């Protein structure tokens, strides 16, 4: 089958080639099917420009820049020493000090949230006098109160889970937080509807009136209930829009911006609780604690979702440096800025990127770093999935960027075993390429299996092969149409016979990740050694 020519590169796209050392050749002996695509005609490598003489002392942006000291025998020795240390760090893996696994932390967090819920029930119990539960009306009203308290608490938890609290995002992972938020959302709407229904039914039973007139009376005459009803209607609307069948039909941004009405619902619910909540009106300590919890979550939102990204933008002044086509429908965006080392990003993590151009500034999309952070530039590699990602190939150098992050727990810290398998599906190779570059490992300790439909879909094979060759790792390209048995347990075992003794990092689209998990389990890899990142929150 004739291989297509590599995508043309513009001057901008090639801007960073020298820094990146992308001239590493693909090994034709290893991957005959991919080689012609990258080398249709033999072109001599671009010569690096000659080193320009350094000024004795330069004035840069008003700041004096001291020129580097000339190399002496002593400084050359120090440099060589550093290289030796860096190489040792990259080739020698030591079991890290014991850290609680993600799953344990998630369970602890759930335990903490459960304890919070128990405290809320205790508050209700303490303020429900003995004998107050006599009669159906009183029982229904009491049940309505406790569901109201639990609903208010769960609403607060929902907001906290999405407040992008860095420790939670990096140690437990954004994917778990988003999945838990989604699961809690279903309970939340049920609990709040139950609260409204029980309160009205309780009042109706006590007053011996019908449900409909009592509903009208409660909504229109009880103080602050109209406001709370509006909040409940908003939450039900958000819940309906988030149901899988409805959400699939909506553009992500439409769903996202409508979802923000939930914040208005939280405000309305909070005011309603303080105004009429029996547990708060007569109990100052409970009122202070409840208000304090709401203020703490509001502060997290403000600090981590608003101030943090703005601070990061002002401090690092990120800009697009170049855009490079990697394959059909896939581009890499290179981003430079000030003091990038202090971002403290790790290979495997992602940022939410906001490109400040006319049509894009209002959207932030998550994309993983596709090179290990190096202090000089950040790179994301994007497959055209929809309007936004398709347009990124048209970004011009100089465009300002706001980034939120780094996020994600899909990093080398999850590793517990010496040998590692990286398993990529499609553009899921992006964070795995960064991990391949940085995982401390000796020769033969890391394998990358890269699943793609056709050779044209393979992204940066020359980089992967270059890194693998330098590190003594192996890259297996697994090409073929989707839905086949490429990832079957037997196939995985035949490519990587010791797979069951390895940590496995899987990344790709949701369907591929689920299939890979299943097949890895069948191949004997324990659940706790499978670490996955789905390109879907
Ligand atoms: C943690 C993480 C890391 C990712 N890393 C990469 C990467 O390195 N390379 C890459 O090509 N893709 C990556 N993705 C996927 C990428 O974010 C989506 O493909 C992209 O946002 C699609 O936007 P769109 O408008 O082009 O397409 P749309 O057609 O609007 O969206 C396609 C799907 O992408 C998801 N999506 C859209 N917008 C957002 C958003 N703002 N936030 C979260 N999800 C959204 C939705 O599930 C939607 O169904 C990653 C996703 C996640 C969650």
pLDDT in tens, 272-309: 988 888 788 888 888 999 999 999 999 999 999 999 99
Looking at residue 203, what is its pLDDT? 92
Residues 219-231: b if buried by 16+ CB within 10 A, e if exposed: eeeeeebeebbeb
> CB of 536 closer than 6 A to ligand 1?
yes
> CB of 324 closer than 6 A to ligand 1?
no
Looking at residue 440, what is its pLDDT? 87
Q: Are 155 and 268 in the same domain?
A: yes
- The Cα 300–Cα 311 span in angstroms is 15
Looking at residue 319, what is its pLDDT? 96
> CB of 385 closer than 6 A to ligand 1?
yes
Position 79 in a domain: no
Backbone CA torsion sign across 15, 315, 367, 478 = positive
Q: Are 167 and 277 in the same domain?
A: yes
| Centre of ligand 1 from the C-alpha of residue 456, in Å | 21
Of the three residues 373, 389, 408, the one that is the final residue of a domain is 408
Q: Are 303 and 162 in the same domain?
A: yes
CB-count exposure of residue 55 (10 Å: 0-12, 13-18, 19+) = exposed
Q: Are 324 and 302 in the same domain?
A: no
Residues of the chain with pLDDT under 50: 1-27, 30, 35, 37-81
| Centre of ligand 1 from the C-alpha of residue 383, in Å | 9
Query: How wide is the angle at C-alpha 399 spanned by C-alphas 397 and 400, nearest 5°?
Result: 140
Count of structural domains, the chain: 3
> CB of 367 closer than 6 A to ligand 1?
yes
Q: Are 143 and 228 in the same domain?
A: yes
> CB of 330 closer than 6 A to ligand 1?
no
Domain carrying residue 256: 102-309
Position 3 in a domain: no
Protein residue with least CA distance to atom 9, ligand 1? 382
| Centre of ligand 1 from the C-alpha of residue 535, in Å | 7
Residue 376: C-alpha distances to residues 20, 331, 336, 349, 371 (Å): 10, 19, 7, 17, 11
Q: Are 347 and 252 in the same domain?
A: no
Q: Are 188 and 294 in the same domain?
A: yes
Atom number of ligand 1 nearest to Cα 382:
11
* Number of neighbouring beta carbons within 10 Å of residue 466: 19
Q: Are 271 and 256 in the same domain?
A: yes
Strand partners, 381: 332
Q: Are 244 and 200 in the same domain?
A: yes
CATH number assigned to the domain comprising residue 389: 2.40.30.10
Position 438 in a domain: yes
Position 337 in a domain: yes
Looking at residue 71, what is its pLDDT? 42
Of the three residues 363, 378, 408, the one that is the final residue of a domain is 408
> CB of 387 closer than 6 A to ligand 1?
yes
Looking at residue 63, what is its pLDDT? 32
Position 35 in a domain: no
Atom number of ligand 1 nearest to Cα 431:
8
**Minimal CA–CA distance to 384: which of 371, 396, 373, 393?**
393
> CB of 410 closer than 6 A to ligand 1?
no
| Centre of ligand 1 from the C-alpha of residue 536, in Å | 6
Looking at residue 64, what is its pLDDT? 37
Query: How wide is the angle at C-alpha 402 spanned by C-alphas 397 and 407, nearest 5°?
Result: 120
CATH number assigned to the domain comprising residue 422: 3.40.50.80
Q: Are 358 and 431 in the same domain?
A: no
Four-point Cα dihedral 119, 151, 149, 145, nearest 10:
-130
pTM (global) more than 0.85: no
> CB of 176 closer than 6 A to ligand 1?
no
| Centre of ligand 1 from the C-alpha of residue 524, in Å | 31
Of the three residues 385, 408, 431, the one that is the final residue of a domain is 408
> CB of 383 closer than 6 A to ligand 1?
yes
Position 26 in a domain: no
| Centre of ligand 1 from the C-alpha of residue 426, in Å | 13
| Centre of ligand 1 from the C-alpha of residue 259, in Å | 17
Strand partners, 186: none
> CB of 327 closer than 6 A to ligand 1?
no
Q: Are 396 and 515 in the same domain?
A: no
Position 140 in a domain: yes
Position 188 in a domain: yes
Q: Are 280 and 363 in the same domain?
A: no
């Amino acid at each position: 089958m004739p291989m297509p020519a590599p995508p043309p590169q513009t001057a901008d796209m090639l801007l960073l080639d020298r820094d990146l050392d992308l001239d590493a050749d693909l090994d034709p002996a290893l991957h005959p099917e991919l080689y012609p695509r990258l080398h249709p005609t033999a072109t001599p490598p671009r010569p690096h420009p000659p080193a320009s003489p350094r000024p004795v002392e330069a004035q840069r942006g008003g700041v004096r820049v001291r020129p580097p000291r000339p190399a002496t025998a002593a400084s050359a020795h120090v440099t060589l020493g550093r290289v030796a240390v860096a190489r040792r760090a990259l080739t020698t893996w030591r079991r890290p000090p014991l850290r609680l696994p993600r799953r344990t932390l998630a369970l602890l967090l759930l335990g903490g949230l459960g304890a919070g819920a128990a405290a809320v029930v205790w508050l209700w119990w303490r303020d429900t006098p003995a004998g107050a539960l006599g009669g159906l009306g009183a029982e229904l009203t009491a049940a309505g109160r406790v569901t109201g308290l639990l609903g208010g608490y769960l609403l607060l938890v929902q907001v906290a889970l999405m407040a992008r609290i860095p420790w939670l995002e990096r140690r437990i992972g954004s994917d778990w937080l988003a999945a838990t938020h989604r699961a809690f959302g279903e309970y939340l709407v049920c609990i709040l509807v139950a609260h409204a229904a029980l309160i009205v039914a309780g009042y109706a039973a006590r007053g011996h009136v019908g449900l409909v007139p009592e509903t009208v009376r409660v909504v229109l005459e009880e103080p602050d209930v109209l406001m709370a009803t509006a909040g409940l209607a908003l939450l039900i609307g958000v819940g309906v829009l988030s149901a899988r069948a409805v959400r699939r039909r909506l553009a992500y941004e439409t769903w996202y911006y409508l979802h923000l009405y939930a914040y208005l619902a939280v405000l309305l619910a909070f005011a309603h609780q303080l105004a009429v909540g029996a547990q708060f009106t007569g109990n100052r300590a409970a009122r202070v604690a409840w208000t304090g919890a709401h203020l703490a979550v509001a502060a997290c939102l403000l600090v981590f979702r608003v101030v943090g990204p703005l601070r990061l933008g002002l401090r690092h002044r990120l800009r697009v440096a170049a855009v490079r086509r990697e394959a059909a429908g896939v581009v890499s965006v290179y981003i430079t800025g000030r003091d990038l080392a202090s971002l403290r990003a790790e290979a495997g993590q992602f940022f939410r990127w906001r490109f400040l151009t006319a049509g894009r500034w209002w959207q932030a999309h998550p994309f993983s770093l596709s090179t290990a952070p190096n202090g000089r530039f950040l790179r994301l590699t994007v497959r055209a999935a929809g309007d936004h990602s398709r347009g990124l190939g048209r970004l011009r150098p100089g465009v300002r960027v706001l980034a939120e992050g780094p996020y994600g727990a899909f990093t080398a810290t999850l590793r517990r075993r010496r040998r590692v398998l990286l398993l990529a599906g499609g553009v899921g190779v992006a964070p795995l390429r960064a991990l391949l570059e940085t995982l401390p490992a000796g020769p033969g300790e890391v394998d990358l299996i890269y699943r793609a439909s056709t050779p044209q879909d393979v992204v940066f094979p020359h980089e992967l092969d270059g890194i693998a060759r330098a590190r003594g790792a192996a890259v297996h390209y697994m090409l073929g149409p989707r839905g086949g048995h490429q990832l079957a347990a037997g196939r995985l075992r035949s490519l990587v016979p010791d797979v069951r003794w390895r940590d496995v990092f899987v990344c790709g689209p949701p369907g591929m990740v689920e299939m890979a998990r299943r097949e890895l389990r069948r191949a004997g890899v324990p659940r706790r050694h499978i670490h996955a990142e789905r390109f879907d929150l």
